[in-house]
Amino acid sequence: MSRLSQSIIVVLFLLASLAAEAQSSSGIKREQRRNRQQIEQARRNVRQNEQAVENNLRQLELLDGEITDISRDVRRLRGTSDSLRQLIRPLNDSINDLNSRLSAMSEKYKTALRKSQTNGNSLNDITFVFSSENFMQAWQRYRSLRQFARWRQRKADEIIDVRSSLQSRLQRLDSLKASNNRVLSNVEQQRNTLERKRVETDRLVTSLKSQNKQLQQVLKRRQKEADELDRRLEKALAEEMEKQRREEEERQRRLKEQEAAASKQASETATKPAASDKQVQPKPAVEAPVNSQLTGSFESNKGKLPYPLSGQFTIVKKFGRQKHPRLPKVETNNPGIDIEASTQGATVHAVFDGEVSQIFKLAGYNNVIVLRHGDYVTVYANIARLDVKKGDKVKTGQALGSLYVDKADGNRSVLHFELRREKEKENPELWLKR
């Protein structure tokens, strides 16, 4: 084989090797790209599954809240029905008594009228009187006729009164029975609604139990977000308390300086010869400004404060540490209450006069507004649009903003609300009046 042929073979071999290497490299890149896509798809699937579990858990919380509200309404309606029945029973008895009395009075009246007749015909009063044998008999007959006429009129009036009273009570009885029927119908509707919601609740519980791993991930993330909110609030309240402490120290320092200056001025005045009979009085010490937001005024309204949401709403998460009644491995520790509004993006209102002391953003809670009411604070979380800013003075019922609408969860709007005395957490339901 010639040297040229050998060179050509070597070149072809090298080209083939390079082509194979390029093809191999391209295949590796495609495989890597495919693996990355699969990993990203797997992550999306995990996020979608967690979102589905989150949605189901929130729906279950809403159903549990609605079941609690409906059960309370059913108990109230049954109590109303019992009260109506208690009114109906004595009313029935009194109607029966009036009927008996009316029958007796009517029969007595008819008997008296029959006795006043002769041979079935009414006597002419004048003829009856003038047919007397003497004046005394005529006078007695006249008096008897007048007495009988008065008795007859009185009995007729009594019969009319009894009939009127009977008619009034019958109308009252019909009204009470109609009200009771409406209440019982409402109870039946509420019970049917309750049963439907319980069936739906059971379905959600079964679904969540089958996705326990994702459920635990959701609960873990929720707790992490709640802990972060608690940490931010603790830090903010601690900073406010420290600021108040420094301001109080500064106020006390200025007060002592003013007292010392006043004492020195009084001493110097006392050593000087009196120019007149007038005595120079030392200036009174400057008192601390009175805080218009008195703690007492807030405390005195315990149990009377309005809810931060108007219209229809449901408390979906209660205050404190609670085990879920249907999910044995689910336990929550809520520092406030969660209230779901029936209206998307509902307006949030201040529950009492106060000052906006903090506004900050936080994952899972969107905007958080903190109002100070003396030693107390109220917290409004998951706000989308803000209608106030830090430092604003607000009045009871004033709009603070609108709730965030969660499009990934059926456009639901849920407010997280807390009430604290400085760092001590209080159960808001004990302070609010529905």
Structural domains of the chain, with CATH: 70-210 (1.10.287), 215-261+303-430 (2.70.70.10)
Q: Which residues pair with 334 in a beta bridge?
A: 320
In this predicted structure, what is the pLDDT of residue 101?
74
Q: Which two tokens stand for residue 173?
A: 């009885």
With 0-12 CB in 10 A as exposed, 13-18 as middle and 19+ as buried, what is 403?
buried
Q: Are 383 and 369 in contact (CB under 8 A)?
A: yes
- Where on the phi/psi map is residue 117: left (φ > 0), alpha (ψ -120 to 50), or beta? beta
Q: Which two tokens stand for residue 138?
A: 């005529």
pLDDT < 70 stretches in the chain: 1-50, 109, 112-133, 135, 137-138, 141-142, 144-145, 148-149, 152, 264, 267-296, 325-326, 328-329
In this predicted structure, what is the pLDDT of residue 365?
93
In this predicted structure, what is the pLDDT of residue 143?
72
CB atoms within 10 A of CB 92: 13
Give the separation between CA 192 and CA 415, rounded to whole angstroms: 29
Q: Are 78 and 180 in contact (CB under 8 A)?
A: no
What value, to the nearest 5°, has the Cα angle with vertex 120 and ends 118 and 124? 55
In this predicted structure, what is the pLDDT of residue 9?
67
Q: Are 405 and 291 in contact (CB under 8 A)?
A: no
What contacts 50, CB < 8 A, 6 or more positions away?
Answer: 214, 217, 218
Query: For residue 29, what is the DSSP state?
Result: H
* pTM of this prediction exceeds 0.75: no
